[in-house]
Amino acid sequence: MPKAKDVMRSFIVEVDPESYIKEVASLMKEKKVGSVIVKKDNNPIGIITERDVLYKVVAEGKDPSKVKAKEIMSSPLITVDKETDLEEVLKIFKEKGIRRLPVKEGDKIVGIITLRSIIGDLRSVEEVTKDFEKIQGYICAFCGSVFPTEKDLSKHIDRVHIGAGILEGRR
């Protein structure tokens, strides 16, 4: 069985809890990452994802130049060891309702594993693990929803994750 270390991305971007979301979002764009680890005194204390920025700042009509990282980060930080089986990682994703999971070696974060890194690059998934129902179709890498055709998946992503005015502040 593959381990977390086999699919994790080892490039980690870290921010201070006092950083403003405008800076955090700019850093995420610059570094081309979907999440950042929030660290205080060199200790990881939380995570901020693109979804956090959209839902907790933009959709709420808050000013990103006035909201601090510590105000929207998800905490406490849920992590796995680099030797954790992917089956266990998928269980954590499902049970906790998360899509990103920092990977540790000892006390240090050495990577991040995402739902997309496990299943998002697959065009069609027939079976994820023995603990999950058999899945036939196309899986949304953002939310895990399953669609019978690639066209249905594309419409869903356009409507729910990209469109619907969220990025323009209309929703």
pLDDT, position 147: 79
pLDDT at 121: 45
What pLDDT, in 10s, does the model give residues 112-151?
Answer: 998 777 765 443 444 444 434 455 677 776 676 777 888 8
Fill in the amino acid letter for 137. Answer: G
Domain 4-121 fold is CBS-domain (3.10.580)
Whether pLDDT at 107 is above 50: yes
- Nearby residues of 154 by Cβ (< 8 Å), 6 or more positions away: none
Residue 131's pLDDT is what? 38
Q: How far apart are CA 37 and CA 40, in angstroms?
A: 10
Enumerate the domain spans of the chain. 4-121, 122-171
Q: What is the pTM of this model?
A: 0.68
pLDDT at position 168: 40
Q: How many residues does the chain have?
A: 171
The CA-CA-CA angle for residues 119, 122, 53, to 5°, reads 50
Banded model confidence at residue 65, pLDDT cuts 50, 70, 90: very high
pLDDT, greater one: 134 or 94 = 94
Q: Which two tokens stand for residue 8?
A: 């994790």
